[in-house]
């Protein structure tokens, strides 16, 4: 009996030892697996940090998914090699995205600007819808479709559809006198204020806007400061009679509307008590001058803010043929005009003059050759 008890105790002891070893082995295995998982996670994090630290190809700083080099003629891979870009569907809603960087210093961070921060307005009239808007809609409008609005003087179902309902009937006169021009500009300005956008950029319906260059230019300026950006068409400040203090004269610069100009939101808000709600029209009527001059009068004379000249804006008052082809990609706006048989247009190869009398189609294909309508 004693022998059997001893044998049972020995067997039980061995069973307990086996269970203990099994539990110990399980805990050891679990600890080893946790260690391996932690090591794997650390390795992954290290790889991710290394990847994040890898320098991006230079073109990414300018574009995502479009022609990144300065001439905008090709797509580069990560190694900087050139390969053929895609054919672009002109009805695509998002052809490119302009990326931005935030410039930092030891004390301040400069707010950056993206395309969606800009309210782009184009002044037009019903009589020019067919002759001027079609080429804009086909070219640069496709690059800023959500940000661009057309201000006209009549309802037009056809062009409302073509502009994706971005055609606004201002209710202003269809004439080209100063009152009608100031009326449209007043609606443009008030619509900008309601949009809460950071920048207001006005253009005429005879302008081509190089959208990426416009964004790049605005990225140099802080929208929280007061900026009036444009280009005058006269060689000296304009002098007009001060009708409240005759015979005194007033002197100020103004950016010609035919080249385009931009206002920061900070400046727009300072202008609001003077120019919103139709007051812009009253000031234009008071000084008896058109809309772009009235804008300069409000900014420079009434608010004492100076015009900052941007040489890359160009109006029809300049000879377009003197713009060198090698410099075209760096310019922001272009225009055209004709006096009788003489055409003031860009000297640029491309479509024939019957198809492209204003050279905007040729210009667009020079900048963006992969659009579907561009010759190959």
> pLDDT tens for residues 318-354?
999 999 989 999 999 999 998 777 899 999 999 999 9
In this structure, CATH architecture of domain 87-367: Alpha-Beta Complex (3.90)
Report pLDDT for 339: 79
Percent of the chain at pLDDT above 90? 65
More confident residue, 83 or 108: 108
Residue 77: which pLDDT band, with cuts at 50, 70 and 90? very low
pLDDT at 52: 41
**Residue ranges per structural domain of the chain:** 1-54, 87-367
Catalytic residue among 292, 330, 349, 356: 292
Full 3-state SS string of the chain = CHHHHHHHHHHHHHHHHHHHHHHHHHHHHHHHHHHHHHHHHHHHHHHHHHHHHCCCCHHHHCEECCCCCCCCCCEECCCCCEECCCCECCCCCCCCEECCCCCECCCCECCCCCHHHEEEEEECCHHHHHHHHHHHHHCHHHHCCCCEEEEECCCCHHHHHHCCCCEEECCCCCCCCHHHHHHHHHHHHHHHHHHCCCEEEEEECCCEECHHHHHHHHCCCCCCCCCEEECCCCCCCEEEECCCCCCCEEEECCCCCCCCEEEEHHHHHHHHHHHCCCHHHHHHHHHCCCHHHHHHHHHHHHCCCCEEECCCCCCCCCCHHHCCHHHHHHCCEECCEEECCEEECCCCCCCCCCCCCCCHHHHHHHHCCCECCCCC
| Range name among 98-112, 122-136, 230-244, 336-350 with the lowest pLDDT average | 98-112
* pLDDT of res. 109: 53
Q: What average pLDDT does the chain have?
A: 81
Region of poorest pLDDT, from 77-91, 103-117, 253-267, 310-324: 77-91
| DSSP bridge pairs for 230 | 309
**Known catalytic membership, residue 292:** yes
Q: How crowded is residue 57: how many other Cβ atoms within 10 Å of its Cβ?
A: 13
Tell me the whole-structure pTM to 2 decimals: 0.74
Distances (CA, A) of 173 to 280, 294, 323: 16, 18, 35
Instruction: Say if residues 155 and 172 touch (Cβ distance below 8 Å).
Output: no
Tell which residue, 279, 259, 317, has the closest CA to residue 182: 279
């Amino acid at each position: 009996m004693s022998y059997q008890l001893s044998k049972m105790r020995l067997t039980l002891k061995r069973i307990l030892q086996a269970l203990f070893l099994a539990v110990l082995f399980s805990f050891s295995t679990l600890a080893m697996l946790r260690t391996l998982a932690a090591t794997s996670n650390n390795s992954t994090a290290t790889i991710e940090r290394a990847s994040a630290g890898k320098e991006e190809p230079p073109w990414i700083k300018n574009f995502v998914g479009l022609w990144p080099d300065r001439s905008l003629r090709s797509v580069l891979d990560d190694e900087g090699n050139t390969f053929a870009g895609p054919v672009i569907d002109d009805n695509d809603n998002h052809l490119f995205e302009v990326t931005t960087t935030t410039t930092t210093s030891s004390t301040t961070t400069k707010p950056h600007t993206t395309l969606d921060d800009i309210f782009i307005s184009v002044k037009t009239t019903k009589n020019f819808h067919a002759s001027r808007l079609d080429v804009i809609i086909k070219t640069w409008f496709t690059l800023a479709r959500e940000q661009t609005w057309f201000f006209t003087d009549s309802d037009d179902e056809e062009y409302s559809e073509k502009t994706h309902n971005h055609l606004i009937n201002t209710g202003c006169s269809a004439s080209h006198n100063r009152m009608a021009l100031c009326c449209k500009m007043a609606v443009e300005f008030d619509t900008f204020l309601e949009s809460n956008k950071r920048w207001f950029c006005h253009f005429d319906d005879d302008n081509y806007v190089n959208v990426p260059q416009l964004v790049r230019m605005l990225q140099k300026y802080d929208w929280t400061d007061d900026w009036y950006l444009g280009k005058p068409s006269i060689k000296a400040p304009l002098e007009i009679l001060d009708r409240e203090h005759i015979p005194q004269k007033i002197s100020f610069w103004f950016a010609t509307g035919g080249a385009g100009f931009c206002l920061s939101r900070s400046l727009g808000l300072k202008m609001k008590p003077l120019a919103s709600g139709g007051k812009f029209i009253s000031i234009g009527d008071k000084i008896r001058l058109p809309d772009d001059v009235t804008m300069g009068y409000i900014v420079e004379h009434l608010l004492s803010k100076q015009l900052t000249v941007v040489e890359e804006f160009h109006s029809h008052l300049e000879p377009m043929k003197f713009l060198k082809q090698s410099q075209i990609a760096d310019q922001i706006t272009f225009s055209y005009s004709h006096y009788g048989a003489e055409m003031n247009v860009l000297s640029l190869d491309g479509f024939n003059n019957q198809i492209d009398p204003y050279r905007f189609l040729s210009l667009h294909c020079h900048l963006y050759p992969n659009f579907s309508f561009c010759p190959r």
